[in-house]
């Protein structure tokens, strides 16, 4: 009897153990993947590992190449250690995985249910997520324009004051910008001469380290009723730059385009560009997005081998998003994208992201990855009169309960003329058109101050603090529309000239770049005269005052050190909210002033 009882207890414990083990692997698998397993169907997955690289100590490294190499080496080391057993198991099933070392993950297409269960039981595996195809709606269509309908310098390029920066001798020379999109028609006359892989002297192209195609399969969402994928002009894993849509080509034109025949469509025409295709005819997926982020950390040859972080771009454009409603139904996927952005940014690459075209949904619509991440430099879209477009997405961010303000900044995004396929030009609208303007401005700044390459925080701070203040009439979230920053414009519309002036005044990166300038405004509110008490100044300084529409109503420049007092008469000015901005060699500051 005693032996029988012991046997029952033993079997019960085994049953409980197996049940716990069963629940353990299920808890590590997303609902969409579990549904596929229950149906006995293979599934496209991303495997995320528990061990993650700590990069926090690398932010003290100056010099972009040194910083990128340190990040790359650490990420590679962590991935090699934690992925080995998983890769061996995958290979026993005759499958192969794509290493996403940027996030310490693996992507695997058509994984068998049995294999997924086995991988989920591994203690080193943190989570197995669904890897869905996601539709990107793209820009708002406008009528095509002919090559003869040129404006010489396009309105958005002029509005951000790029020509004034060119006149100072800075047009992006020595800087590489990157783009992840639908691909790029690299032979378009407006961007061919700016492609890093093109040698005008020998009239030859080398696509190694200059182009990557992250599309390895046709999206089933492009299949017809008979299950045929249709024709993609780029095919799969194209060894040369190719655009199967036009969206990507248009964005690159705004960053660098100039055909030397009057089509000055780009903000930084002396910069070089590299590109990565992350969408298949408008459909992308988390793994293709992450793969492009990874390639920008350490570009490879066209075969995807021999990564080299020294060839990474300085800044990248991302005019796309991955929304919950459109396929990224597993929020763990968003965190994988978040890790990719954080780690790439740690390597010294500025990650510019279009905030999205959901302004019709009003406030708190900035909830699509990667625009809502703190580490993404998100961009809203403005009209020709510097007001926000109706489609530009508004903050605050609520999906992660952060209530952070988004966008960071705004730029021209309506009726933007740029290049499209087959040598043509077209006007498009969307925040997709705004982000490339900011990328171009970054290239202008870095061409003047190449020693600031890799100093992401500094460049982003310069862009924000020198933006033209812009305001809304309504609050979004708990932030007033006339606050700086606000959830409509961010800090305001980007200004290349103002940003360059501050960048030129910065101390070398070996010393603290933003010294604590101090400004007190008295009285505030004010009726007749406001006194500005400023301390910790050095070298050239400039104080400007803007009205609620962003128009400059006062400015004064001087050279001096330590302290300064300026009194601004305001009796003749209309009552309302005014904004001040101090630019100094020792730092920048801004604030709000109320005129009664």
The answer to whether residue 11 sits within a structural domain is no
Position 11 pLDDT exceeds 50: no
Predicted confidence (pLDDT) at residue 32 exceeds the cutoff of 50: yes
Average pLDDT over residues 176-183: 98
Give the model's confidence band at 57: pLDDT under 50 very low, under 70 low, under 90 confident, else very high. confident
Q: Is the domain of 442 the same as that of 483?
A: yes
Please say whether the beta carbons of 391 and 383 come within 8 A: no
> Among 229-238, 240-249, 480-489, 500-509, where is mean pLDDT lowest?
500-509
Domain-embedded: residue 2: no
The reply to whether 195 and 312 lie within a common domain is yes
The residue among 583 and 493 whose pLDDT is bigger is 493
**Beta carbons of 313 and 32 less than 8 angstroms apart:** no
* Angle between helix 286-297 and helix 331-346 axes, rounded to 10 deg: 10
Residue 4's pLDDT is 42
Same domain, yes or no: 186 and 333:
yes
- The stretch 7-15 carries a mean pLDDT of 40
Q: State the pLDDT confidence band at 220, using cuts at 50, 70 and 90.
A: confident
High-pLDDT (> 70) share of the chain, %: 91
Question: Treating both helix axes as pointing N-terminal to C-terminal, what angle do 113-120 and 64-92 enclose, rounded to 10 degrees?
Answer: 120
Helix axes 247-256, 431-448, angle to 10 degrees: 30
**Do residues 482 and 467 touch, judged by C-beta distance below 8 A?**
no
Residues 375-426 have pLDDT tens digits of 999 999 999 999 999 999 999 999 999 999 999 999 999 999 999 999 999 9
User: Of 131, 161, 185, at which residue does a domain stop?
Assistant: 131
- Is residue 170 scored above 60 in pLDDT? yes
Q: Is the dihedral of CA 392, 396, 402, 407 positive or negative?
A: positive
Q: What share of the chain is helix, strand, coil (3-state, %, to 5)?
A: 30, 25, 45
Two structure tokens written together for 528 = 């007749």
Which residues lie below 8 Å from residue 506, measured CB to CB, with a gap of 6+?
Answer: 449, 452, 458, 462, 513, 585
Let me know whether 381 and 239 are in one domain.
yes
CATH code for position 555: 2.60.40.1930
241: nearest Cα among 317, 298, 180, 185? 185
Query: DSSP label at 483?
Result: S
**Is the pLDDT at 2 greater than 80, yes or no?**
no
Q: Is the peptide bond before 523 cis (omega within 30 degrees of 0)?
A: yes
458: buried, middle or exposed (CB in 10 Å: 19+, 13-18, 0-12)? Answer: middle
Q: What b-and-e string marks burial along 227-265, b requiring 16 or more CB atoms within 10 Å of the CB?
A: eeeeebebeeebeebbbbbbbbbbbbbbbbbbbeeebbb
- pLDDT over threshold 50, residue 231: yes
CA angle 94, 96, 100 (to 5 degrees): 160
Would you state the pLDDT for residue 515?
52
Q: Do 97 and 35 have their domain in common?
A: yes
Alpha-carbon span 63 to 275, nearest angstrom? 23
Q: Where are the alpha helices (DSSP H) in 280-379?
A: 286-297, 331-346
Q: Which residues, in sequence order, are CB contacts of 401 under 8 Å at separation 6+?
A: none
Q: Is the pLDDT of residue 141 over 80?
A: no
Residue 18 is predicted with a pLDDT of: 38
Q: Is the pLDDT of residue 342 over 60?
A: yes
Q: Are residues 279 and 194 in the same domain?
A: yes
Return the residue matching tokens 């007092």: 565
Instruction: Let me know whether 145 and 114 are in one domain.
Output: no
Contacts with 35 (C-beta within 8 Å, 6 or more apart), sequence order: none
Q: Quick one: pLDDT at residue 5?
A: 46
How far is Cα 307 from Cα 173, in angstroms, rounded to an integer?
24
Q: How many residues does the chain have?
A: 596
Cα-based torsion angle of the residue sequence 173, 179, 183, 186 in order, rounded to the nearest 10 degrees: 0
In percent, the amount of the chain with pLDDT more than 90 equals 76
Do 269 and 201 share a domain, yes or no? Answer: yes
57, exposed or middle or buried, with CB in 10 Å at 0-12, 13-18, 19+?
exposed
Last residue of some domain: 89, 110, 131?
131
Same domain, 461 and 576: no
Instruction: Please compute the mean of the pLDDT values over residues 52-74 and round it to a whole number.
Output: 92
A 10 A CB-CB count for 40 gives 9
Q: CA–CA separation, 117 vs 262, rounded Å? A: 60
Cis peptide before 407 (omega within 30 of 0): yes
Answer yes or no: do 310 and 420 share one domain: yes
Q: Is the pLDDT score of 10 beyond 60?
A: no
Are 229 and 293 in contact, with CB atoms under 8 Å apart?
A: no
The pLDDT tens digits of the residues spanning 528-568 come to 999 999 998 877 888 988 887 667 899 999 887 788 999 99
Q: Same structural domain for residues 366 and 275?
A: yes
Mean of pLDDT values over 124-150: 72
Q: Has this prediction a pTM greater than 0.95?
A: no
pLDDT at 119 over 60: yes
For residue 150, what pLDDT is reported?
56
Over residues 450-468, the mean pLDDT reads: 96
The answer to the question of residue 5 being in a domain is no
Sheet holding 576-584, edge to edge: 552-559, 540-546, 576-584, 587-595
| 509 within some domain | no
Which of 22-26, 93-97, 297-301, 480-484 has maximum average pLDDT? Answer: 297-301
User: Residue 431 in contact with residue 357, Cβ under 8 Å?
Assistant: yes
- What is the model's pLDDT at position 15? 39
What average pLDDT does the structure give for the chain?
90
> What does each C-alpha distance from 412 to 354, 387, 443, 527 come to in angstroms?
12, 9, 17, 35
In DSSP terms, 140 is beta-bridged to 429
R_g of the chain computed on alpha carbons: 26
- pLDDT(31) > 80: yes
- H helix or E strand, kind and range, residue 433: helix 431-448
Check residue 541 and give its pLDDT. Answer: 87
CATH code, 398: 3.40.50.200
Q: Which two tokens stand for residue 533?
A: 């008490």
103 and 168 assigned to the same domain: no
Of 80, 102, 131, the position where a domain reaches its end is 131
Residue 4 lies in a domain: no
Residue 145, pLDDT score: 55
| Residue 241 in domain | yes
Residue range of the domain that includes 110: 21-131
pLDDT band at 329 (very low <50, low <70, confident <90, very high): low
State how many domains the chain has.
3
What is the CATH classification number for the domain harbouring 29?
Answer: 3.30.70
Q: How much is the pLDDT for 454?
A: 96
Is the distance from CB of 509 to CB of 532 less than 8 angstroms?
Answer: no
Tell me if 493 sits within 8 A of 468, measured CB to CB: yes
Tens of pLDDT, residue by residue over 489-506, are 999 999 999 999 999 988
Assess if residue 109 is contained within a domain.
yes
Residue 21 has pLDDT above 60, yes or no: no
Answer whether residue 510 is part of any domain. Answer: no
Is the per-residue pLDDT at 175 higher than 90? yes
The distance of Cα 591 from the centroid of its chain, to the nearest Å, equals 27
């Amino acid at each position: 009897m005693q032996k029988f009882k012991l046997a029952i207890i033993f079997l019960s414990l085994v049953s409980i153990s197996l049940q716990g083990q069963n629940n353990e692997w299920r808890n590590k698998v997303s609902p969409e993947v579990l549904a596929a397993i229950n149906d006995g169907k293979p599934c496209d997955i991303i495997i995320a590992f528990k061990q993650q690289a700590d990069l926090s100590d690398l932010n003290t490294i100056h010099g972009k190449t040194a910083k990128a190499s340190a990040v790359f080496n650490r990420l590679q080391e962590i991935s090699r250690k934690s992925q080995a057993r998983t890769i061996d198991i995958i290979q026993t099933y005759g499958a192969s995985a794509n290493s996403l070392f940027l996030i310490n993950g693996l992507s695997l297409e058509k994984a068998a249910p049995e294999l997924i269960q086995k991988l989920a039981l591994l203690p080193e595996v943190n989570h197995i997520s669904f890897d869905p195809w996601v539709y990107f709606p793209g820009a708002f269509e406008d009528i095509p324009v002919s090559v003869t309908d040129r404006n010489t310098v396009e309105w958005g390029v002029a509005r951000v004051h790029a020509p004034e920066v060119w006149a100072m001798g800075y047009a992006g020379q020595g800087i590489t910008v990157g783009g992840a999109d639908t691909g790029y028609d690299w032979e378009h006359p407006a961007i061919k001469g700016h492609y890093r892989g093109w040698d005008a002297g020998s009239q030859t192209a080398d696509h190694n380290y200059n182009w990557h195609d992250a599309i390895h399969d046709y999206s089933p969402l492009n299949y017809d009723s008979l299950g045929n994928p249709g024709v993609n002009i780029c095919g799969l894993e194209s060894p040369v730059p190719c655009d199967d849509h036009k969206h990507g080509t248009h964005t690159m034109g705004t960053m660098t385009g100039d055909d030397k025949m009057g089509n000055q469509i780009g903000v930084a025409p002396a910069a070089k560009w590299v590109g990565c295709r992350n969408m298949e005819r408008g459909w992308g997926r988390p793994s293709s997005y992450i793969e492009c982020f990874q390639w920008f950390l350490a570009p490879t040859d066209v075969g995807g081998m021999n990564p080299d972080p020294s060839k990474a771009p300085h800044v990248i454009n991302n005019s796309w998003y991955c929304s919950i409603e459109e396929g990224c139904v597993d929020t763990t996927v968003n965190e994988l994208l978040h890790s990719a952005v954080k780690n790439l940014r740690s390597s010294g690459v500025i990650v510019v992201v279009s905030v999205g075209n959901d302004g019709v949904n009003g406030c708190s619509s900035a909830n699509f990855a990667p625009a809502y991440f703190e580490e993404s430099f998100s961009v809203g879209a403005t009209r020709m009169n510097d007001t926000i477009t109706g489609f530009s997405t508004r903050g605050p961010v609520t999906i992660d309960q952060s209530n952070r303000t988004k966008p960071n900044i705004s730029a021209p995004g309506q009726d933007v003329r740029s290049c499209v396929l087959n040598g043509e030009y077209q006007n498009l609208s969307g925040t997709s058109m705004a982000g490339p303007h900011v990328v171009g401005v970054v290239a202008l700044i870095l061409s003047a101050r190449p020693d600031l390459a890799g100093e992401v925080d500094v460049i982003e701070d310069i862009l924000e603090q020198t933006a033209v203040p812009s305001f809304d009439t309504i609050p979004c979230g708990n932030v007033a529309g006339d606050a700086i920053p606000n959830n409509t414009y961010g800090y305001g519309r980007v200004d290349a000239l103002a940003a360059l002036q501050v960048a030129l005044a910065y101390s070398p990166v070996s010393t603290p770049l933003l010294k604590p300038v101090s400004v007190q405004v008295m009285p505030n509110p004010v009726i007749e005269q406001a006194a500005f008490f400023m301390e910790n100044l050095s070298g050239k300084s400039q104080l400007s005052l803007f009205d609620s529409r962003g128009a400059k109503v006062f400015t004064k420049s001087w050279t001096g050190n330590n302290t300064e007092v300026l009194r601004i008469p305001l009796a003749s000015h209309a009552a309302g909210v005014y904004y001040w901005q101090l630019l100094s060699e020792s730092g920048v500051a801004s604030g709000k002033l109320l005129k009664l």
